């Protein structure tokens, strides 16, 4: 679906922008000159950013200070990703970029130009839940649900990290594959805070997907 914030690239616009923007980074060369809102004095010029979110490609004009979180929520209206603290402390904003979990409030959208992003909406849908989503439902891994999208994205990303052999602070043998264990899960999920305190149920849900008894 095309959103009003998105822009289209025409051959003519591309050539015009390329001629007009010789002093700005190469990425801005894709910007049709007529599509660029004039920046107010002292503000950076908007830049074109392309993101593939949950399989759909979006071309946006963004203030370069826009976080990935605000891009998802305010520009693409994917409000499943939550804003808790907005400064990297709670994990509610966790999404996956190129398959790796990331706090989307701590990173700028322009840093991910061309990247593939997966949000909670892209993991699964009602009637076709991702196994981690289904396990959270089965084990009551939430109460208010505010932290839950971040918890689920983080858990999916965490198991992928472990499968790739990424060690954690509690990994005993850095030369061996990380052991799937509740201790590892709890350490690796420590960046995702749940104010409702659903931690034991969250651990059970993750354990079920990983095949480990919590
Ligand atoms: Fe990003 Fe809290 S909203 S870590
Ligand atoms: Fe309420 Fe986690 S379910 S904050």
* Closest atom of ligand 2 to CA, residue 196: 1
Which residues have C-beta within 8 Å of that of residue 56, sequence separation ≥ 6? 1
pLDDT score recorded for residue 154: 98
For the chain, the structural domain boundaries read: 45-123, 126-214
pLDDT digits (tens, 9 = 90+) for 153-184: 999 999 999 999 999 999 999 999 999 999 99
Query: Relative to the alpha carbon of 84, which ligand is closest?
Result: 1
Which residue of 141, 150, 192, 198 sits with most ligand 2 atoms within 8 Å of its CB, as the best mutation to test the pocket? 198
| pLDDT at site 40 | 76
> Which residues in the chain show pLDDT less than 70?
1-39, 214
User: What is the Cα–Cα distance from 156 to 102, expressed in whole angstroms?
Assistant: 12
Q: Could you give the CA distance from residue 75 to residue 34 in angstroms, rounded to a whole number? A: 20
C-beta separation of 191 from 185 below 8 A: no
CATH architecture of 126-214: Orthogonal Bundle (1.10)
The alpha carbon of 199 and the centre of ligand 2 are apart by a number of angstroms equal to 9
Q: How far is CA 187 from CA 52, 86, 149, 167, in A?
A: 30, 22, 19, 11
Q: Which CATH number fits domain 45-123: 3.40.50.300, 1.10.10.10, 3.10.20.30, 3.40.50.2300?
A: 3.10.20.30
What is the predicted pLDDT for the residue at 42?
A: 79
Give me ligand 2 centre to Cα 141, in Å: 9
Evaluate if pTM is beyond 0.85: no
């Amino acid at each position: 679906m095309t959103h009003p914030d998105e822009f289209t690239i025409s051959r003519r616009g591309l050539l015009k922008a390329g001629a007009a923007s010789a002093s700005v980074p190469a990425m801005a060369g894709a910007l049709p000159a007529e599509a660029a809102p004039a920046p107010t004095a002292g503000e950076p010029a908007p830049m074109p950013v392309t993101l593939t979110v949950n399989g759909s490609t979006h071309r946006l004009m963004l203030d370069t200070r826009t976080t990935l979180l605000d891009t998802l929520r305010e520009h693409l209206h994917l409000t499943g990703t939550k804003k808790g603290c907005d400064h990297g402390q709670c994990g509610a904003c966790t999404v996956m970029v190129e398959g790796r979990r990331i706090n989307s409030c701590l990173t700028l959208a322009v840093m991910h130009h061309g990247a593939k992003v997966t949000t909670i909406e892209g993991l699964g849908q009602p009637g076709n839940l991702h196994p981690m989503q289904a396990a959270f439902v089965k084990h009551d891994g939430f109460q208010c649900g505010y932290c839950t999208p971040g918890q689920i994205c983080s858990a999916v990303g965490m198991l992928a990290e472990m499968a790739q052999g990424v060690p954690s602070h509690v990994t005993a043998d850095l030369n061996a594959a990380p052991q799937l264990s509740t201790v590892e899960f709890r350490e690796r999920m420590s960046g995702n805070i749940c104010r409702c305190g659903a931690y034991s149920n969250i651990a059970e849900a993750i354990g079920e997907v990983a095949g480990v008894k919590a």
